[in-house]
Amino acid sequence: MASHRKSRTPGTRVAGIRTPALATAALTSVALLSQTANASPGEDRPSLEEVEKKVGDLYRQAESATEKYNAAKEKTTKQRKRVDTLLDDVAKRTQKLNDARSELGSYAAAQYRTGAGMPDTATFLLAETPQDIFDQRQVLDRMTGRQKAAVDDYVTQQTETMKKRQEATESLRTLTETQGDLKTAKATVQKKLADARELLSKLTAEEKARLAAIEKRKQEEAARKAAELARQQAAQEQAREEAAQQGGGASEGSGSTGSAETPPADSSYGTKAEKALAFARAQIGKPYVWGATGPGSYDCSGLTQAAWKAAGVSLPRTTYDQVNAGTTVPVSQAQPGDLVFFYDDVTHVGIYIGNGMMIHAPKPGTYVREESIYYDGDSAIHSIVRPA
């Protein structure tokens, strides 16, 4: 019987710098995966190119879900604190209401013992809402000053207690919703990661080695681009220094490489950035764990938030909010400490350290590390933000 396996085409090794087109060609030249033992006759497995793309997509989707989880977790925490505060307030106001009710009850009992006719004060105790009380204005006219004061206090306490109970009810409803969002996001992260692991588990040792070779070539290309950016930034710095020397510093803040919209970071920023980077470097080697904010593990936005917190700057929790927490600058003007955001949906972030490199928590199964900001190609970079 003829074999159903497709013949493998030897991969082409390209020397020197690989362009995106060559990278694609290198990937497509990789042979299709062999059939698994339990595969149906005639069933083809995906190519390594397809596996790599699918796994990458799943990791990015997991990271997107992680940021949604982080947002839902933060909202849930704040909402739970609000609910606890409201419930505590309700309990205190309920006690005050009971005290006011007790005082009104004493007046009603006194009226009854003295045979003072209709126990005016008792009428208010039978009222179910503050409106019922206000509707009985004619009764108020027959009351003494102390009785009226007691009624006023009772009305106030009842009104405020009902208001706080309503706020607590609405807050509990919101808390239930945010907890549902949290649960959904968590399930999505777990599902995407499980799907990625399943895809990778089906690769043979040879296929894993080829996939690693593809990743190595991507890293080499990313390193080349980082070095190119470093040379460009060094040239810009030299041009600024020469302009400052020739113009006696008159060009400072409006140099040939800058603009009014994106001025060079000042010395105070540099001081804070040094502290943030020192913290980030100390975390290198710690594992990526989605939803983690340290100290033993981090996700991408958890790391950048913790790093800038060490510098005395409070950043929001998620990438969606961090990207708006500063001034956007061109990639060519990125300075150490700036935040580098990735992908159209802004689901990943690292902290720039200079020379085209950053420190970031990449993805599940990896560790906090230094890496080129081009680790996933030029197009993956969304923006550079200076947070302080």
Alpha helices in the chain (DSSP H): 20-28, 48-113, 120-126, 130-134, 137-140, 145-201, 205-247, 267-282, 300-310, 319-322
Q: What is the maximum alpha-carbon separation in the chain?
A: 112
Active site residue 4: no
What is the 3-class SS of 342-383, one letter each residue?
ECCCCCEEEEEEECCEEEECCCCCCECEEEECCCCCHHHEEE
Closest CA to 346 of 66, 24, 34: 66
Active site residue 382: no
- Phi-psi category of residue 107: left, alpha or beta, with phi > 0 → left and psi -120 to 50 → alpha: alpha
**Catalytic residue, candidates 210, 360, 382, 386:** 360
Q: Nearest 5°: phi and psi at 353? A: -120, 0
What is the 3-class SS of 45-113, one letter each residue?
CCEHHHHHHHHHHHHHHHHHHHHHHHHHHHHHHHHHHHHHHHHHHHHHHHHHHHHHHHHHHHHHHHHHH
Q: In this structure, is the dihedral angle defined by the CA atoms of residues 269, 274, 277 and 279, taken in order, positive or negative?
A: negative
CA 316 from centroid of its chain's CA atoms: 7
3-state secondary structure of 292: coil
Strand partners, 386: 327
Write down how long the chain is: 388
Sheet hosting strand 327-329, strand order edge to edge: 327-329, 381-386, 339-342, 348-354, 357-360, 369-372
**Catalytic residue, candidates 60, 186, 210, 348:** 348
Active site residue 348: yes
Closest CA to 364 of 51, 47, 56: 56
* The one-letter amino acid at 161: T
Structure tokens that stand for 50 in this block: 């397809």
The residues annotated as belonging to the active site are 300, 348, 360
